[in-house]
Structure 1
Amino acid sequence: MPQYAVLIYADESLHAQHASEAELDENDRHARALEASGSMSLAYALTPRADAVSVRRDGERPGPFVAADQFVAGFYVLDAPDVDAAIAIARENPAVRTATGGVEVRPVHSGGITATGRD
């Protein structure tokens, strides 16, 4: 089945090191629903942009690679029969209901787990 990456854009990630369960509840419910449906292959929430380090040819810089009002706060991979089905699933992401956030759906071209035995 084709896979689609869903990139979650937000003003800031809710997944700070000490985020409360209440702050994460809506996103966690969404993730559990996707997991229960069998459509989600993997998911990762990213920490706030202040934790990012950008690596470029001339060195490293603190902060995200691209300065923008919204940034990638997390992503997940869906198994869906086609892009329309992936979009319908992604539309349920809590970021879509915010004033400035949203998601981007992109077909996965290739890749996957390449190492085994990681701890």
Structure 2
Amino acid sequence: MVRAVRGAIQVDADDRDSIIEGTTELVSTLMERNRLTTDDVISVLFTATPDLTAEFPALAARKLGFHEVPLICCSEIGVPGALPRVVRLMAHIETDRPRSEIHHVYLRGAVALRQDIAQ
């Protein structure tokens, strides 16, 4: 079965280290909470708010071992008043778990984006 897992994190600044560190935390937490390995991951779509341009978030996933997983980065639309400096992801995974057992991960300031599903 294919499921989608969502997550987001607000990073401290638009610099390479902040984007890599924040994205690493996001991906690692999502993988741990859902008991996943890279073999379970079909693909990952990363987005970043328009104020994050110093690095591709997917680089963090590559550094974590996502060498054979298709990854892509896109820019979020620039909505006035939206939460700044946010990296989001949607991972497509293979799992037998029902949707009720999927753990979406929203960290730091990004918890405000989805308080209904943030864990």
Shorter-chain TM-score tier: 0.3 to 0.5
TM superposition score normalised by structure 1? 0.44
Q: Which has the larger radius of gyration?
A: 1
Q: TM-score, length-normalised on structure 2? A: 0.44
